[in-house]
Chain A
């Protein structure tokens, strides 16, 4: 007799989350809410970019923001103060990413009625958030110039799941060995369909292109 009994499971760790995410996406589509999952490294300028973009869009569509962090609520307060829109903080309880279930719980805490665009600012991290589908309509990420143009080579999964890559802090391009052409080439190696928009969130340069991209996305989602 064997000392142990083996029970076969053969199940991907991501299977349940993928199912939850698909269900959430379908629901949001029916309600006409476009959810954007925004990811990046810590310090790439996510919150500043959001504030600029929201201020360009808030008279055209209704927007709500969920800020995910391991701790603190500084980002949610900053967004609310700078834009006046609905903004809540989600804590991940030490986890390095948000999954579909956590995203759903966050959405339950928003007044979603009449909201056209909900933005999830994911935890600053290029590894885990890419692996967990949040149920968002689209994924976007911000790559800042000081991080280097070779990030798409180092974090292939992140760049292959993103439909929009925002290259931030282009005002410091003269001080870094950042090759924009190489960057575009590397991003398209991972995802040939990805849109790439260079901006400077600090001065506002290029941010109108991000706003245009989002507006078009939201319109298409509601069709």
Chain B
């Protein structure tokens, strides 16, 4: 259900972009999805198939997912580490003064249209 809601937003934005660029049909939409964005890629593509096929602009189009690994930065020692592996605690110095550098993206990277 969560992913379906996201798919509706993607469709709305892609429709707008298609209109601005005079595009009649989209063959693929490429997404940047962060590893800790709470999006499950398989669910997203399943929801996409169901919803996109109902739109003439997007019928048969593919949703391509580009996963972005999550990286956290530690303010105490200045190092970066893998968020999924170590969470909020820095594995180098044990500090909790850390913040997510990247990995929560839910971003439309580009659309592909037949030439």
Please report A residues at the B interface, Cβ cutoff 8 Å: 1-14, 16-17, 94-97, 125, 127-128, 131, 157, 189
Q: Which residue of B lies closest to A2 (CB)?
A: B115
- Chain B residue at smallest Cβ distance from A123: B1
Interchain residue pairs with CB less than 8 A apart (30) = A3-B114, A4-B28, A4-B113, A5-B112, A5-B114, A5-B115, A6-B110, A6-B111, A6-B112, A7-B17, A7-B21, A7-B111, A8-B109, A9-B13, A9-B17, A9-B108, A9-B109, A9-B110, A9-B111, A10-B109, A12-B105, A13-B9, A14-B106, A16-B12, A17-B9, A95-B5, A96-B2, A96-B5, A125-B2, A128-B1
What residues of chain B lie closer than 8 Å to A10, measured between beta carbons? 107-110
* Beta-carbon nearest neighbor of A15 in chain B: B13
Residues from chain B with Cβ under 8 Å of A3 in the complex: 114-115
Task: Report the bound CA distance from A13 to B104 in whole Å.
Answer: 12
Main secondary structure of the interface of A (DSSP, over half): mixed
User: Interface majority SS on B: helix, strand, loop or mixed?
Assistant: mixed
Q: How many residues of B contact A (CB 8 A)?
A: 30
Chain A: CB-nearest residue to B114: A4
Contacts of B111 in A (CB 8 A): 6-7, 9
B57 beta carbon closer than 8 Å to chain A: no
| Contact of B107 with A12 in the complex, beta carbons under 8 Å | yes
Q: Which of B28, B38, B107 contacts A131 (CB 8 A)?
A: B38
A95 to B9, CA, bound (A): 11
**CA distance in complex: A3, B27 (Å):** 11
A2 CB contacts on chain B under 8 angstroms: 115
Does chain A have a CB within 8 A of B6?
yes
Residues on A with C-beta less than 8 A from B105 are 12
Q: A10 CA to B110 CA in the complex, in Å?
A: 6
Q: How far is the CA of A125 from the CA of B5 in the complex (A)?
A: 13
Q: Are A13 and B114 in contact (CB under 8 A)?
A: no
- List the B residue with the shortest CB-CB distance to A96: B1
Q: Mark B81-115, 1 if CB is under 8 A from A, else 0.
A: 00000001000000010000000011111111111
Contact bitstring B3-30, A, C-beta under 8 A = 1, else 0: 0111011101110010001010001100
| Cβ of B72 to closest chain A Cβ, rounded Å | 12
